[in-house]
Structure 1
Amino acid sequence: MNDRFLAIDWGTTNRRVYLLDRAGSVLETFRDDRGVLAVGPGGFADEVAAIRARMGDWPVVAAGMVGSQRGWALVPYLPCPAGADQIAGALHEVAPRTWIVPGLSDPRGDVMRGEEVQLLGAVHAGLAPADALLCQPGTHCKWARMADGAVASFSTSMTGEMFALLKQHSLLAEFLGGPVADGPAFRAGAAASADPALLTALFGVRAAALLGLRAVEDSAAHASGLLIGSDVRGAGVAAGSDVFLLADPMLGALYTAAIAQCGGRAHLVDSHAAFVAGIAQIWSLVRDR
C-alpha cells in the first residue's frame, strides 16, 4: 500500500519537499536552495536518495524544472487543454518509484512547468472555481484560463524580469532604487498603463524625476505600476472580472491594486496549499494502478 508519498516542487533555484499521507495532508516539509541549477549532471538520483533517507522510503512525484533540459530528464510537454487525468496519465517514470510531472504547452506558443500543479490544485481544493481566470505573478507571470477544472489555455508575461532588467541595465537604472509597494505612485503607474504607449511612459519615468514632476524615490513604484498594470490589462481584466491570485503577499498586494484599477476583483489563493492539493490529486489517480 502506498499510504504516503513524497512530493517535490523542484524549481530552478529552490525546491520544497512535502511528505503527504493518503488523504493529501502534509506530515512534514522542508525548503532549501537545491534547485536544478545546484544539482550537477547525474546528481538527481543521489538527491532523491538523500530525501528518502531523511523523510522515508516512499514513492516520489516531482514537478517543475526538474523535467526540463536543465533537470533530471527532458519530459515532453502535455498540450492544453489538460486536466489532472491527462497529467496523471503522462507522468514520466525517471527511476523506480520516481515520477516527473510533464508540464503543459499552449498551442499558441507557450510553456509551463510546475505551475500547472498549483492551477489544478486551486480548483480541486475549492480555492478557485472550475471556470476562472488564475494568475501566478513572478519573474514570468502566468495567466491561465480554467474550464471545467482543466487548464484550457494560458499565457506568460515577462513582467518581473522586465522590471529587473530596467533596474540593472537601462537608462532608468539610477532612478529605480526606491521602494516598490502599493501606494499613490504605484497606482498612478497602473492607471497610466491604460495608455498603450508603454515604452513612452517608461521613458517618462526618468523625465518626470529630472523635471521634479515626481519624487525620485517614487520612480520604482511608478515603473512597477506601469508594467504590472500593462500585464493585467493585456490579460483582458476589465470591470467585473474576477482574478484568482496565487501570489506571495507583496506581489499579491501589487496585482490586487492593479486589478482594482481595471475594475476587477482579486482573490488571494495560498499557492503552497494549491500545490499540495494538485500533486495529491495527481498521485491519487495513479497510486493504485
Structure 2
Amino acid sequence: MNWRDGYIAVDWGTTNRRAFSIGNDGRLIERLADDRGVLAVGRDGFEGAAAEISARFGSAPMLLAGMVGSNRGWSEAPYIDCPAGAPALAAAIHWIEPGRIGIVPGVCQRGAAGADVMRGEEVQAIGAVVAGLVAPDGMLCHPGTHAKWIRMQGGSIAGFTTSMTGEMFSLLSRHGILADQLQGEVKASASFAAGVADALGGKPLLSALFGIRARWLLGEANADASYASGLLIGSDVRASLDGGTSEIALIGAPELCALYAAALGIAGREAVPIDGETAFLAGVRQLTEIL
C-alpha cells in the first residue's frame, strides 16, 4: 500500500485518542478527538475502535503511536534503544496488518544512564526537529503526570529522563498530612517562584515539603499549593538540566507549560512552547516517507 496516497495518523493515549486524516499532498483533511483512550477501549475493543476511524476517514493505511502499543493496548510494540531516529523507528514498526496498520515502537534507555521508557513522545520529538520547531541538538520537555526531558542529537533521541513530578503532586494533594494544605489553585505566583528558588538552591525536597505543614501549624504561612508545586517542578528542572542548550522546548497542556516556563526562567533558561499536534504530524509524515 502506498502511504504517499494519504494515510491516517493516530495518537492513542491512556485516556484520550486523536486521529488525523492526511491527504496525498501531506495536508490535514480532518481530525477526530475523543476520550476513547486505551483504558476506555479495553483489550478486545481496539479492532472495532480502529474500524470506527476508518469508517469516518476512509480505507487509507493507518499509523498509530502512544499507549496503544503498550502491554495494556491493542498489541505490544517493542522498545528500541537510544539513540533512536526516524529510520530506526520506521524499521521497528509493529504491524497489526502488514503494510496497512502499524504501531510505532517505543523508545528505551538502559545501562549507566538508568532504565527509562517512553511511548508517543518519540514521534513528537522527531517531528519537532523535522518541522524546525527544535534544533537537531536541542532539548524538549513534556510536562505532565510523568514529565519527559528528551535530549536530541543530530535529530535523533540521544537520551531522556522521566520524572514523576505531576503524579507526586497529585499524591501529596490527595493523601497524607499535606492534603489539606494543597487544595488551592496552583499559579505561577510569588509562592511558586519561592518554591522553585528553594529547589534550585539545593534545599532538600523532603524536608522542604514537611516545612509546608510546619509553617501552617505555627501560623507562619497560609496553605499554599503553589509553593509545593514550585518545589517539585524546581527539583525536576534542577535535576534535568545538564548545562547544555539554553533553550528548552515545551510540549503539553498550556497551564503546565506556563509553570515549567516560569521555573525555567528562574533557572536562567529560555522556554519555547511548541505545538504538540504539529510536531506529532511532522513525525508521522517523516516515518511514512521512509516506509
Aligned position for 2:102: 99
What is the alpha-carbon distance in structure 2 between the residues aligned to residue 31 and residue 79 of structure 1? 31
What is the alpha-carbon distance in structure 2 between the residues aligned to residue 201 and residue 23 of structure 1? 54
For 1:21, give the aligned amino acid: G
CA-to-aligned-CA distance 1:122-153 (integer Å, 9 cap, x gap): 11000010001110000000001100000000
Shift of 1:239: 9.7
Is 1:158 aligned with 2:164?
yes
For 1:203, give the aligned amino acid: F
Q: Is the 8 A contact 1:238 1:263 kept in 2?
A: no
Q: Is the 8 A contact 1:103 1:111 kept in 2?
A: yes
Q: Is the 8 A contact 2:63 2:104 kept in 1?
A: yes
Is 1:68 aligned with 2:52?
no
Is 1:257 aligned with 2:265?
no
For 1:228, give the aligned amino acid: I
Find the residue that maps to 1:43 and give its secondary structure: helix
Aligned residue-pair number:
284
For 1:265, give the aligned amino acid: E
How high is the TM-score relative to the length of structure 2? 0.94
Find the residue that maps to 2:152 and give its secondary structure: strand
1:66-215 maps to which residues of 2 (within 5 A)?
66-96=68-98, 97-107=100-110, 108-193=114-199, 194-215=201-222
For 1:279, give the aligned amino acid: V
Q: Is the 8 A contact 2:147 2:162 kept in 1?
A: yes
What is the alpha-carbon distance in structure 2 between the residues aligned to residue 168 and residue 47 of structure 1? 34
What is the alpha-carbon distance in structure 1 between the residues aligned to residue 244 and residue 209 of structure 2? 25
- The 1:237/1:267 distance shift into structure 2, 3 A limit, reads farther
For 2:19, give the aligned amino acid: V
Aligned position for 2:241: 236
Shift of 1:23: 4.0
Q: Is the 8 A contact 2:136 2:154 kept in 1?
A: yes
Shift of 1:94: 1.0
- The 1:243/1:174 distance shift into structure 2, 3 A limit, reads same
Q: Is the 8 A contact 1:241 1:265 kept in 2?
A: yes
Q: Is the 8 A contact 2:184 2:225 kept in 1?
A: yes
The runs of at least 4 consecutive aligned structure 1 residues that moved more than 3 Å come to 237-240
Q: Among residues 264, 270, 278, which one is paired with 2:275 in the alignment?
A: 270
- The 1:223/1:238 distance shift into structure 2, 3 A limit, reads farther
- The 1:115/1:63 distance shift into structure 2, 3 A limit, reads same
For 2:228, give the aligned amino acid: A
How high is the TM-score relative to the length of structure 1? 0.95
Percent identity of equivalent pairs:
50
Q: Is the 8 A contact 2:15 2:37 kept in 1?
A: yes
Q: Is the 8 A contact 1:24 1:276 kept in 2?
A: no
Q: Is the 8 A contact 1:239 1:263 kept in 2?
A: no
What is the alpha-carbon distance in structure 1 between the residues aligned to residue 123 and residue 290 of structure 2? 14
Q: Is the 8 A contact 2:78 2:94 kept in 1?
A: no
CA-to-aligned-CA distance 1:149-204 (integer Å, 9 cap, x gap): 00000010000000000011121000111110111011011001122410000001
Find the residue that maps to 2:43 and give its secondary structure: coil
Aligned position for 2:44: 42
Q: Is the 8 A contact 1:172 1:206 kept in 2?
A: yes
For 2:235, give the aligned amino acid: S
**Structure 2, gaps ≥5 residues long:** none
Instruction: Give the RMSD, CA atoms, in angstroms.
Output: 1.4
Q: Is the 8 A contact 1:238 1:264 kept in 2?
A: no
Q: Is the 8 A contact 1:105 1:111 kept in 2?
A: yes
For 2:24, give the aligned amino acid: R
Aligned position for 2:284: 279
What is the alpha-carbon distance in structure 1 between the residues aligned to residue 6 and residue 67 of structure 2? 23
- The 1:110/1:23 distance shift into structure 2, 3 A limit, reads farther
